[in-house]
């Protein structure tokens, strides 16, 4: 490796790793003007920053010596924002300082602090850790920073975004003033510049642009997709590029879990990385990616920070990043160490402007296009099969014996077809994806009249072409058409986005030959153009092994689902749907006027008595039995009676009731004898 002042032990380690040429950031930090000075470096991820500051602090740690002295108090402190990045830096510095005899210790969150304490007590030359855990060890007097000669803040902008500003300032304040401070950041916002002015002296500033750094080997692509085809687009992109290792970024944990389940269901070997995982689970997931047991990683931005995976050739943005810096950090996971990589953005029509703005702010030129189709993926599968390493292996005697036995029983064509089926069975099936087309264009791309009449002129706005409780997936046929019915509906989660490819495959027709699609509870009706209807009817008669869905023609046109129709409102055509307001009853014009009919027929309202004879919504209460006269009053003001009633004997004023025999005997009217009660003897009070 061509370096200006690399120590001999580090040069040997670089030669063993086949580092033949220095990257621009490595050359800049080893320049004569940068030796012994504080550094403020702006470089993208994947540009070789770890090796760069490892070489930059070598003179501070080693001087002119070949090996480091016995480990005691640390000489260098590396601060990283995440656990994965800190562990990655730990591995890089271990092999870089292997011949110098350096002891590198990591202190990160999620690990056993007691184990880290024992390792620090045993001595270390370089300590790598996350801000929170390092501050904890410093406050507990476990980490001695009095002998530090260099402090490196790796990805300082990310640490500020994650809320580690106070921890960073605490570390810089507690370390010696004579230390050398190296600040590395992908971007240099104002907060980073102000921190550099406060904690650095006469810093040497290095800026490596994306064209000069690690992002020059990344190919950016933007794919236009329909809003409901994000999962299908991820599947086709992974199948099209066939990278040994790929990472798919989502913005939330729920999106990560959902996409991981979808990819597992389709046959991908996939792991997930999110903030809800423990450190042990994260380590196992990353290890499965490194040893090849898993091929795809679905992760959030924070969880994937600092991930360095071998052979990572593809980055997919299932959700658009929030800002240009995040876009660069995501894409920087690929295209590292001189290798080529691809960064694919999935853009729905509503997010097209935002995607263009992100690319412009990041200074990236992306190639716009559509998602890979099934035909393109199948063509690539054929090429990959012919170039498979299996055909290049040496043939053994056992292989020849089995080959002759197969040729004796089967023809060469049958054996080749079986081999092709076996090869395809190991691969996840590609998905049929709708071209966004007219529906995929943004509002600004459509004309004002097109926007204004998009709903009014659509086929689902006309009563004769609107399906109950479902909108047609495609417009009606301008010419003649024939209707067909498929024996699947909403009860089995039927959706137009996968019904359309299935219809095309079963009937051997194109998407342009399919008109309206109406999805009911138990069935789906769709129309086929008259030119393709005969051929379609012949092909659907053959059984299909993949879906086994019965399709039949409807000679009388669309019929609908009887069960669904019962629950639907009538499909009106204009006023009253062309029918009278009341079926089987006289219309409003035929009924007599309101005043021409008497209110009560046959009986006058009052019949000599002041008693209301109409209907009442309640039962009358029995009359009050208290006086010789009977007077009742109902809840209506005009309902009352004034009649005479036979006199009734009065109830005695005392007693329990007429049905009991404890009443006193009644003598003359109004008098009675008082009953005599036996007196109870009084209890004598006790003197005690």
Of 236, 221, 230, 223, the closest CA to residue 376 belongs to 236
For the ranges 69-73, 338-342, 544-548, 560-564, the one whose mean pLDDT is highest = 69-73
Edge to edge, the sheet with strand 245-249 lists 270-273, 296-299, 245-249, 312-317, 341-347, 218-224, 367-370
Q: Is the pLDDT of residue 465 over 70?
A: no
Q: How confident is the model at residue 279, as a pLDDT?
A: 74
Q: Classify strands 367-370 and 524-529 as parallel, antiparallel or unpaired.
A: unpaired
Q: How far apart are CA 82 and CA 275, in angstroms?
A: 11
Higher pLDDT, 633 or 95: 95
DSSP 620-631: PPPPP-SSSSEE
Work out whether strand 296-299 and strand 270-273 pair parallel, antiparallel, or are unpaired.
parallel
Q: How many residues does the chain have?
A: 688
pLDDT range class, residue 438, cuts 50, 70, 90: very low
Higher pLDDT residue, 683 or 84? 84
At 448 the pLDDT is 40
Name which CATH class applies to 467-564: alpha beta
pLDDT at 246 over 50: yes
pLDDT confidence bin for 138, thresholds 50/70/90: very high
Model confidence at 89: pLDDT above 80: yes
pLDDT band at 613 (very low <50, low <70, confident <90, very high): very low
The overall average pLDDT reported for the chain is 76
Choose among 431, 424, 548: nearest CA to 501: 431
Average pLDDT (52-79) is 91
275-289 confidence digits (pLDDT tens): 778 778 888 888 888
> Taking residues 483-503, what's their average pLDDT?
84
CA distance 244 to 294: 9
> Cβ of 24: how many Cβ atoms within 10 Å?
18
Q: How far is CA 393 from CA 329, 387, 388, 399, 477, in A?
A: 40, 12, 10, 11, 56
Structure tokens at 253: 């944990």
Place 574 in a pLDDT band, splitting at 50, 70 and 90.
Answer: very low
Residue range(s) in the chain whose domain bears CATH number 3.30.70.330: 467-564
The 3-state DSSP class for residue 112 equals: coil
Please enumerate in sequence order all residues whose Cβ is within 8 A of that of 682, keeping only pairs 6 or more positions apart, or say none: none
CA distance 542 to 536: 11
The values of phi and psi at residue 276, to 5°, are -85, -5
| Among the ranges given (61-70, 445-454, 520-529), the one the predictor scored with the smallest mean pLDDT | 445-454
pLDDT digits (tens, 9 = 90+) for 635-686: 444 444 444 445 554 555 554 444 444 444 444 454 455 555 556 666 666 5
Tell me how many helices (H) and strands (E) the chain has: 22, 20
Tell me the pLDDT tens digit for each residue of 380-428: 988 888 888 778 788 888 888 888 888 888 888 888 888 888 888 888 8
pLDDT band at 634 (very low <50, low <70, confident <90, very high): very low
Residues carrying CATH 3.40.50.300, the chain: 8-207, 215-378
pTM for the model stands at 0.53
CA distance 625 to 431: 88
Mean pLDDT of 353-377: 90
Share of the chain above pLDDT 90, in %: 25
> For residue 624, what pLDDT band results from cuts at 50, 70 and 90?
low
Better-scored residue on pLDDT, 487 or 616: 487
Please state which of the four CATH numbers 3.50.50.60, 3.40.50.970, 3.40.50.300, 1.10.1060.10 is assigned to the domain occupying 215-378: 3.40.50.300
Bridge partners, residue 527, by sequence: 483
Q: Which two tokens stand for residue 135?
A: 């501050």
Query: In b/e form, how buried is each residue of 235-251, taking b as 16+ CB within 10 angstroms?
Result: bbbbbbbebebbbbbbb
- Which carries the bigger pLDDT value, residue 585 or residue 520? 520
Provide the token pair at 666: 């009644």
CA distance 637 to 633: 8
Among the ranges 315-319, 331-335, 557-561, 615-619, which has the highest mean pLDDT value? Answer: 315-319
Residue 46 backbone phi and psi in degrees, to 5 = 85, 10
CA angle 458, 461, 464 (to 5 degrees): 110
Greatest mean pLDDT among 64-73, 208-217, 621-630 lies in 64-73
* Torsion angle, alpha carbons of 536, 542, 548, 549, to 10: 30
CATH architecture of the domain with residue range 8-207: 3-Layer(aba) Sandwich (3.40)
Range 296-300 average pLDDT: 92
In this prediction, residue 30 has a pLDDT band, given cuts at 50, 70 and 90, of: confident
- 494 versus 676: the higher-pLDDT residue is 494
């Amino acid at each position: 490796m061509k370096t200006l002042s690399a120590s001999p032990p580090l040069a040997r380690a670089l030669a063993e790793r086949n580092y033949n040429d220095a990257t621009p950031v490595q050359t800049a930090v080893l320049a004569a003007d940068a030796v012994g000075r504080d550094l403020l470096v702006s470089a993208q991820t994947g540009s070789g920053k770890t090796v760069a500051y490892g070489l930059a602090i070598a003179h501070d740690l080693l001087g002119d010596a070949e090996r480091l002295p016995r480990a005691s108090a640390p000489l260098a402190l590396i601060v990283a924002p995440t656990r994965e990045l800190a562990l990655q830096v730990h591995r890089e510095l271990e092999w870089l300082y292997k011949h110098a005899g350096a002891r590198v210790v990591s202190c990160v969150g999620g690990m056993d602090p007691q184990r880290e304490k024992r390792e620090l007590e045993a001595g270390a030359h370089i300590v790598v850790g996350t801000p929170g855990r390092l501050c904890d060890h410093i406050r507990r007097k476990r980490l001695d920073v009095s002998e530090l000669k260099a402090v490196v803040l790796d990805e300082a902008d990310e640490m500020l975004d994650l809320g580690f500003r106070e921890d960073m300032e605490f570390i810089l304040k507690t370390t010696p003033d004579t230390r050398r401070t190296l600040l590395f950041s992908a971007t240099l916002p104002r907060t980073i510049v102000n921190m550099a002015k406060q904690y650095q002296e006469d810093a040497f500033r290095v800026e490596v642009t994306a064209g000069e750094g690690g992002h020059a080997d990344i190919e950016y692509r933007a794919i236009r997709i329909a809003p409901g085809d994000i999962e299908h687009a991820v599947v086709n992109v992974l199948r099209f590029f066939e990278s040994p290792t790929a990472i798919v970024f989502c913005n939330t944990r729920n999106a990560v879990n959902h996409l991981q389940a979808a990819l597992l269901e389709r046959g991908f070997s996939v792991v997930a990385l999110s903030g809800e995982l423990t450190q042990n689970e994260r380590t196992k997931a990353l290890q499965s990616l490194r040893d090849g047991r898993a091929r795809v990683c679905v992760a959030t931005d924070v969880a994937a920070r600092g991930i360095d995976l071998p052979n990572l050739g593809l980055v997919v943005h299932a959700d658009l990043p929030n800002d240009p810096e995040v876009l660069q950090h995501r894409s920087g996971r690929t295209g590292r160490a001189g290798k080529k990589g691809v960064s694919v953005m999935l853009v729905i029509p509503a997010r097209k402007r935002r995607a263009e703005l992100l690319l412009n702010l990041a200074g990236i030129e992306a190639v716009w296009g559509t998602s890979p189709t099934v035909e393109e993926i199948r063509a690539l599968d054929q090429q990959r099969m012919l170039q498979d390493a299996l055909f290049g292996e040496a043939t053994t005697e056992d292989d020849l014996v089995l080959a002759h036995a197969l040729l004796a029983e089967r023809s060469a064509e049958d054996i080749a077809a079986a081999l092709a089926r076996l090869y395809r069975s190991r691969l996840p099936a590609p998905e049929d994806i709708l071209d966004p087309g007219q529906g995929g264009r943004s509002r600004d791309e459509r004309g004002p009249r097109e926007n204004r009449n998009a709903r009014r002129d659509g086929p689902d706005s006309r009563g004769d072409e609107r399906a109950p409780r479902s909108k047609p997936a495609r417009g009606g046929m301008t010419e003649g058409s024939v209707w067909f019915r498929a024996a699947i509906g909403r009860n089995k989660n039927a959706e137009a986005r996968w019904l359309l490819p299935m219809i095309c495959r079963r009937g051997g027709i194109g998407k342009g030959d399919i008109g309206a699609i109406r999805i009911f509870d138990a069935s789906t009706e769709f129309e086929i153009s008259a030119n393709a209807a005969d051929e379609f009817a012949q092909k659907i008669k053959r059984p299909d092994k993949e879906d086994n869905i019965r399709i039949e023609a409807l000679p009388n046109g669309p019929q609908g689902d009887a069960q669904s129709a019962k629950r639907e409102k009538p499909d009106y055509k204009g006023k009253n749907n062309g029918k009278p307001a009341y079926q089987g009853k006289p219309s409003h014009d035929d009924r007599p006027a309101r005043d021409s009919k008497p209110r009560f027929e046959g009986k006058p309202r009052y019949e000599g008595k002041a008693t209301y004879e109409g209907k009442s919504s309640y039962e009358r209460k029995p009359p009050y039995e208290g006086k010789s006269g009977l007077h009742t009053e109902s809840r209506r003001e005009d309902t009352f009676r004034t009649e005479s009633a036979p006199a009734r004997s009065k109830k005695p004023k005392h007693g329990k009731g007429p049905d009991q025999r404890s009443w006193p005997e009644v003598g003359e009217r109004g008098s009675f004898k008082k009953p005599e009660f036996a007196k109870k003897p009084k209890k004598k009070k006790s003197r005690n």
